[in-house]
Amino acid sequence: MLVDGAPRVACVTPARRVAGRAVTTVDGLPADERTAWGEAFCATGASQCGFCTPGIVLRLAALRAKGSADVDGALLAHLCRCTGWRTIGEAFAAYGLEHPPRDLDAASRRATIEGRVPQRVGPDVPLGGGGFADDSAPVDALVAVPDGGGGWAVGETLTEARALAGKVQGRRTTAYPRHPLEVPPGDWAVTLRTTWVEPAYLEPDASWCAPGGEPATPLANGGAFGGKVGSMAPAVARRLADEHGRPVRVLLPREDVVRQGPKRPPVAAGAAVDGTGVVRVVRTAGVVDAIRTHAPGLVVEEVDVPGPSTSGALRAAGWAEAHVLVAGARGAAGPVRSPSGAVAEAEVGEAGVRVRVSCGDPLDEVCLRSYCIGAAHMALSWVTSEGIATDEDGEPHDLTIRSFGILRAREMPPVEVEIEPSSGEPVNGSDAVFAAVAAAAWIGEGCAQDWPTRTTRRT
């Protein structure tokens, strides 16, 4: 938002700070500017789920009004989980230009394949038209938030529900993420330990439901790359609506998403140059099969440890780790074939990241490229920077979106994407890119055992 014309991050600005001042949201931009920003973001693939973009559009509008072009600097206060930043800079440069005609239905099909849940591409999405559950709730709906004791505090307004819950939202910690598993003994060429990684979707889980009705999906516009697939919000909204006889809007604040949402399961593993090895992984449905199917030479041991819940639905869970480990042991990133049948190859060097992907008919190259850049960003972040700190009991202590270690725009190198032309069946390509970039990045760093490879917490 703009406050008296200056950009401010709405999600951390208390309403009392803007009392009596002029607040402009993306809806308050002049119509021609709104249209031009929506089209520039759409034309460059600079928006996927579209949750972060209304704020970013205002930030860039203010930057442009100032006559500056320091997009990466302007984005320091923002986070985008999806795009990998680079296309946002392209959108800034494309503002007000003519854009080539495009089949947005085909783009939406590609976005749906890459996101694995329905996603729509269009110039309204970056302007907040993604159809998020919390935007569509009736204004008179009751509001429910977790009460901290396993139940729900229900009030007439969000303020009232929060007051009833009586909780103070969490902060980040200065603690460093732990590695809960030890590498199995063996004569290994490489060893790897990872920690719990938060999917870190920007829109916290939300749903609403009328009595006897169907709850709004928390997956619009996109499912956070598997992070929201098992969200509790719809079932809770349905139950509370029936109990109260009124529509109920259910919101999980960030702290509750971190405490209760699924994480990428940690592993500790060793592998030899012939591709054999042992992987210990925190017990997670589906992950053992994912590892064994991708790398039959790896023996998998499931381990129970105290910690946050984990999910095999997260992007490339298990098989990406298996690919990284075997590629590291062999000392060559090589191509990776995903379970979907896509093939990707990546190089990570001084000049940036180069990615080649073959995933059937691209349907829409702008969209596919955007997802590949986003996957490259997620992979670089995962290897070098992401992870949440937990205590010995496994309780998460990193409770804000800024504490998860997501690489910022200034830290993100350029990404070149080469898409193999094909008229074959389109399949998900960005998951293969994710695994390929992770392997190339790790090998480029000399296969340091512990991820994230950075040894200090970010400020």
- Would you tell me which residues interact with ligand FES (CB under 6 A)? 47-53, 80-83, 202
CB of 78 to ligand FES, least distance (A): 9
Element (DSSP H or E) covering residue 48: none
Residue with Cβ nearer ligand FES (142 or 219): 219
Residue length of the chain: 459
CB of 55 to ligand FES, least distance (A): 10
Phi-psi domain of 49 (left: phi exceeds 0; alpha: psi -120 through 50; beta: other): alpha
- In whole angstroms, how far apart are CA 285 and each of 182, 281, 282, 302, 371? 21, 11, 10, 10, 26
DSSP per-residue string spanning 158-185: HHHHHHHHT-PPP---SPPPP--SPPPS
Residue with Cβ nearer ligand FES (279 or 406): 406
Residue with Cβ nearer ligand FES (47 or 358): 47
- In whole angstroms, how far apart are CA 250 and each of 129, 134, 210, 217, 231? 20, 8, 12, 11, 11
CB of 71 to ligand FES, least distance (A): 14
CB of 46 to ligand FES, least distance (A): 8
Residue with Cβ nearer ligand FES (269 or 433): 433
Residues 263, 268, 273, CA angle at the centre, nearest 5°? Answer: 130
Strand-pairing partners, residue 417, are 355
- In whole angstroms, how far apart are CA 351 and each of 190, 283, 416, 444, 448? 26, 39, 10, 13, 21
Residue with Cβ nearer ligand FES (119 or 428): 119
CB of 378 to ligand FES, least distance (A): 11
Residue with Cβ nearer ligand FES (49 or 236): 49
3-state secondary structure of 310: strand
CB of 315 to ligand FES, least distance (A): 14
269 touches 189 (CB < 8 A): no
Residue with Cβ nearer ligand FES (113 or 209): 113
Other CB atoms within 10 Å distance of the CB of residue 62: 17
CB of 82 to ligand FES, least distance (A): 3
CB of 49 to ligand FES, least distance (A): 3
Token pair listed for 105: 């239905």
CB of 86 to ligand FES, least distance (A): 12
Residue with Cβ nearer ligand FES (194 or 221): 221
Residue with Cβ nearer ligand FES (126 or 253): 126
CB of 161 to ligand FES, least distance (A): 25
Residue with Cβ nearer ligand FES (47 or 381): 47
Contacts for 218 with CB less than 8 Å, ≥ 6 apart: 133, 205, 206, 207, 228, 231, 233, 234
Longest CA–CA separation in the chain, Å: 68
Distance (Å, rounded) from C-alpha 34 to C-alpha 230?
35
Other CB atoms within 10 Å distance of the CB of residue 181: 21
Other CB atoms within 10 Å distance of the CB of residue 459: 6
